[in-house]
Amino acid sequence: MSSLTRTRYLTLDLFNNYFLFRVSKILLAERTSFQTLEVLESPEFGLCLLLDGLIQVAEYDEYRYHETLVHTPLLNAENRRSIAILGGGDGCALREVLRYREIEHVDLVDIDRRVVEVSEKHLQRLNKGSLKSRRVEIHLTDARKFISRKKNHYDSIIIDLTDPVEGGPSVLLYSKEFYRMVHNALKPGGTFITQATAFQSRQFRRIFWTVRRVFGNSIPLHVYVKSFCDDWGFVMGLKPWGKLRLPPEDFKEVDKMIAEKVKGRLRYLNGKTYMANFSMSPEDEGMLMKPVKEITDREAFTSIAEEGEANPSWIFQ
C-alpha cells in the first residue's frame, strides 16, 4: 500500500460520523500519559496534530479557528495585559495572543507535557515559536486546579481544550462548577471564551446554557473549519454581563480596532467575517434558545472511563 493512500479518521461530525483523509507521512505517533498524540503530513491539510485520533491543528485552516477563538474575546476585553490560555499546548492560540503589544504576561496551562514538547519541535512553522516567548509562562498541570486558585486575576481567559469525549482529559472542564472558577478568575471587565464543539450539536447547546447560567448570559459564535468537517462553535462570556464592546454590526470599527491593536495581517478575521461569526439562521437561533440541562461535575464524573483509551464519541448528549 502506498503511503499516500493511508488513512486516519479525521474527526466526528455532530451525528458521530467519522471522516477519513489521506496521510502522506507520519512524523510521530505515541501514547502520552493522557492521550494518543500524532503529528503527520496530509496532501490536503498539510501539517497536522491529532489527539486521540482527532485533528486539533491542521495547517490548511487552523487560522480560521484560532483567529476567531483569540481575537473575539481580546477585542472585547476592557484591558489586555494578563491572559490565561487553558489547553492550547500546540502554541497556535498563543501565537495570536502575542500579536497584542500591550499584553504583559500569558499563563498557558496544559496538562500534557508531550504536547508542548512535540509542538515546540514539529509545529514551529505554525506556532511561530510562540511557546518560547519571554511573555509566556507554561504550566504543565491540570487547568481546573490551576484556575481554581486565581481570583480577579485575568483580563481574558481563552479555553482551547480537547473535545468532551468519553475518557478524554478535558471532560471536567465543561461543567457549571468549572465555569464558576473561570468567572471568579476574571477581573471585572474581563472576557472568556471556550471552544464548544460543532455549532449545531446538542453538546454546543448544553455548553451554551451552562455558561449562560454562570455568567448571566452567553454569546454564541461559529466559524466553518473544513479540517473539523463542521461549522465549529464557541461560547463567550463577559464579567459583568453587558453588551459587547465591539458590536458585530459595526464592521468598520472592527477593522479599525484590528488595525490598531493587532500586530501583522490576519488571514481570516476582519470586520465582515467578525459579523458573520455572530450570525445565525432563525432555525438555529430558535433551537439554541430552547433551554437544556446544564452540565455538572456529577455528570462529567460518570463519563470518565475507568481504564483504556479515550472513546472518540461525544458525551453530554
> DSSP for 228-245?
GTEEEEEEEEEES----S
Looking at the structure, tell me whether residues 142 and 24 fall in a common domain.
no
Q: Which amino acid is at 304?
A: I
How far, in Å, CA of 137 to CA of 146, rounded? Answer: 13
- What's the chain's length in residues? 317
Q: How confident is the model at residue 71 (pLDDT cuts 50, 70, 90)?
A: very high
- Residue 305 in domain: no
- Residue 312 lies inside a defined structural domain of this protein: no
Q: Any idea which residues carry the catalytic annotation?
A: 160
Q: Look at residue 314 and tell me if it is in a domain.
A: no
With cell 456529577, the residue in question is 298
Nearest to 173 by CA among 157, 189, 156, 154: 157
**pLDDT digit string (tens) for 84-97?**
999 999 999 999 99
Owning domain of residue 10: 3-58
Within a domain: 315: no
Q: Three cell numbers at 128?
A: 511561530
Q: For the chain, what is the domain count?
A: 2
Query: Does the pLDDT value for residue 192 go beyond 90?
Result: yes
Percent of the chain with pLDDT over 90: 82
Q: What is the pLDDT of residues 12-60, one digit of tens each?
A: 666 777 778 889 999 999 999 999 999 999 999 999 999 988 899 999 9
pLDDT for 106 equals: 98
Q: Please say if the pLDDT value at position 308 is more than 70.
A: no
User: Do residues 206 and 261 both lie within one domain?
Assistant: yes
Same domain, residue pair 173 and 89: yes
Same domain, 48 and 183: no
Q: Is the pLDDT of residue 4 over 60?
A: no
Q: Locate cell 468537517: which residue?
A: 229
- Taking the whole predicted model, whether its pTM rises above 0.85 is answered as yes
